[in-house]
Structure 1
């Protein structure tokens, strides 16, 4: 069972080093955080697309996002900065002086989020191959018919499934289900719309379907998250 409700105070920033050519299978983080790359580089593929990042780049991860990582031959040195659940920044950005941010985080780890938010500069770049176009389509239009999308792009449906899984570590259908579940969780916490109405608007078969999806993702039913948001 995941921690509930979210802790009111942020954890301190921390530093993590990854070995050359190391990889991490697709995994879910239950808290929101930002990653600032201090050195090295890697490819991340997750719920918000694929990004190749290097020193000075930053990636923002909202709660309950999933991703996989492939580290380069140089490995990577990263600064992990916990962020508030409700914070909203673009997925990718830059920090001009990562060394100064790292020094500040070491002196005062609890203040790292504020310093990062002030230094963050949005950068909309990312991968744009067909798996990324499909991922974006599934995020923006979850009801997209995969067979029709394959036909429109001149690809075979089975090739799409294999290629997408290689890129994102998950099938297109499973990716869509996870993205939809996270969208439901965010809507439940951020709006007062009736749960049944939300389920319909987000494309679930019914409220029970949405409840199962949100509980599978977060460990808690929509009603519990709604009560926590209203508290």
Structure 2
């Protein structure tokens, strides 16, 4: 197994000292936990995963990882196509590992076929805020803090500690990622996509998508459909 367009492919090994700050990967992939565990906080929320758990990462998804004490081993496999991010379990992780040594594509297919969704989510207040931001239910952070009994001075600091980014930036990146996916997957005019995702105009969306992906929407659409998308942040040797 080797490094490919989806990032690191193979078994990555981590210790508690290998915590990874928030980072992004352009290509979709799956991460199957073989040993140890970690907490991942990203665009689908914050989840705690253990051996047998599998994370499906969509295009341009960003996250940070905090590893448990001891050694953590994760099998990373590339994906193709637009599959939404999610977390779940597989029944036979060993079979996927063995198959990956012979045929990475077949191992990915087996992992996806045997995937069963699971609820590994954490529900502390930063996670509730992240969910509200993803669903665009927060119009005023100060009001949200007051309604939930969180000190305003603690809101941004506590959220950044859990997710590696400010609430404002988290919301902006989630919206830009969804717009970027629509740019690639749909035939809608770019101006219509901008309206659908709540941007003030097409120029606003262009700036947001370019900041996230390193490409303006028109170029992203062309390269994405050809399968040649890379991200300005996709530089980690080990995808997790």
Aligned with 1:190 (options 171, 185, 191): 185
Take 1:35 and 1:106, find their aligned partners in 2: how far apart are those partners?
16
Residue 175 of structure 2 corresponds to residue 180 of structure 1? yes
| Structure 2 counterpart of 1:153 | 148
User: Larger relative contact order (C-alpha < 8 A, sep ≥ 6)?
Assistant: 2
Aligned with 1:140 (options 125, 135, 142): 135
Residue 52 of structure 2 corresponds to residue 56 of structure 1? yes
Take 1:168 and 1:12, find their aligned partners in 2: how far apart are those partners?
23
SS in 2 for 1:17: strand
| Structure 1 counterpart of 2:231 | none
Q: CA RMSD in A?
A: 2.1
| Structure 1 counterpart of 2:13 | 17
Take 2:37 and 2:215, find their aligned partners in 1: how far apart are those partners?
35
Aligned with 1:91 (options 86, 95, 102): 86
| Structure 1 counterpart of 2:196 | 201
Kindly indicate whether the alpha-carbon contact (under 8 Å) linking 1:37 and 1:55 is maintained by their aligned counterparts in 2.
Answer: yes
Residue 14 of structure 2 corresponds to residue 29 of structure 1? no
| Structure 2 counterpart of 1:4 | none
| Structure 1 counterpart of 2:67 | 71
Take 2:17 and 2:147, find their aligned partners in 1: how far apart are those partners?
36
The 1:162/1:131 distance shift into structure 2, 3 A limit, reads same
Kindly indicate whether the alpha-carbon contact (under 8 Å) linking 1:214 and 1:221 is maintained by their aligned counterparts in 2.
Answer: yes
| Structure 1 counterpart of 2:230 | none
| Structure 1 counterpart of 2:106 | 111
State the Cα distance separating 1:125 from its structure 2 match: 2.9
1 or 2, which has the higher strand percentage?
1
Take 2:83 and 2:148, find their aligned partners in 1: how far apart are those partners?
36
SS in 1 for 2:37: strand
SS in 1 for 2:82: coil
Q: Mean Cα displacement is larger for which, 10-19 or 208-217? A: 10-19
Q: Residue deviations 1:44-88, cap 9 Å, x none?
A: 111111111110000111111111111111231010011113234
The 1:20/1:189 distance shift into structure 2, 3 A limit, reads same
The 1:144/1:85 distance shift into structure 2, 3 A limit, reads farther
State the Cα distance separating 1:13 from its structure 2 match: 4.2
Q: Residue deviations 1:26-54, cap 9 Å, x none?
A: 11111110000001111111111111111
| Structure 1 counterpart of 2:235 | none
Instruction: Give the total of aligned pairs.
Output: 223
Kindly indicate whether the alpha-carbon contact (under 8 Å) linking 2:33 and 2:49 is maintained by their aligned counterparts in 1.
Answer: yes
